[in-house]
Amino acid sequence: MSPEPPSRTEQLVLLLTQNQEPLFRYIFSLVSSEADARDILQETSLALYRKFDQYENSRPFLPWAYRFAYLQIQKHRTKFARSPLLFSEDLIHLLALEREQMEPELKGGGSRMHLERSSTPSSMAKSRRNSTRSCKPRFLR
């Protein structure tokens, strides 16, 4: 007797579990705080659950999930539009494209990823603040 194939919900749980870390890194690369990134990850997971019946198993899951995350980031930006350090939509779009192009390098788990994983949240936040200050004004709202 062979085991039953996983249900659609079980498939989604497996895919989300396998891809949670890269999905979180993608989101965190486009927002200013870890807490916001975690909230957006939750909203993205919920959106993926609601639309999972439209997912085709023949397509890679992560690029499909990135699109949902991107839309959730845009919703988050709209909700918190009065925040003084939001990036412009043009910059968010450029960062998202660059992040997607870096995916093969990030999957390799090279020394850069090891360094980022070993960084403390406070040093990452300081680095993020410094990089925000160095952005050209046209990218900040």
Find out whether 54 and 8 touch, Cβ atoms under 8 Å.
no
pTM of the model: 0.60
Report residue 73 as tokens.
């980031």
**What does the pLDDT average to over 13-36?**
95
What is the residue whose two structure tokens read 């990823």? Answer: 113
* R_g (Cα) of the chain, nearest Å: 17
**CATH code, 8-139:** 1.10.1740.10
Distance separating alpha carbons of residues 26 and 62, to the nearest angstrom: 10
**What does the pLDDT average to over 5-31?**
94
User: Which of 8-22, 49-63, 68-82, 103-117 comes out lowest in average pLDDT?
Assistant: 103-117
Burial of 11 (0-12, 13-18, 19+ CB in 10 A): middle
For 39-82, what is each residue's pLDDT tens digit? 999 999 999 999 999 999 999 999 999 999 999 999 998 887 76
| Phi, psi of 87, rounded to the nearest 5 degrees | -75, 155
Higher pLDDT, 85 or 2: 2
Across the chain, what does the average pLDDT equal? 79
pLDDT on residue 23 = 97
Higher pLDDT, 33 or 139: 33
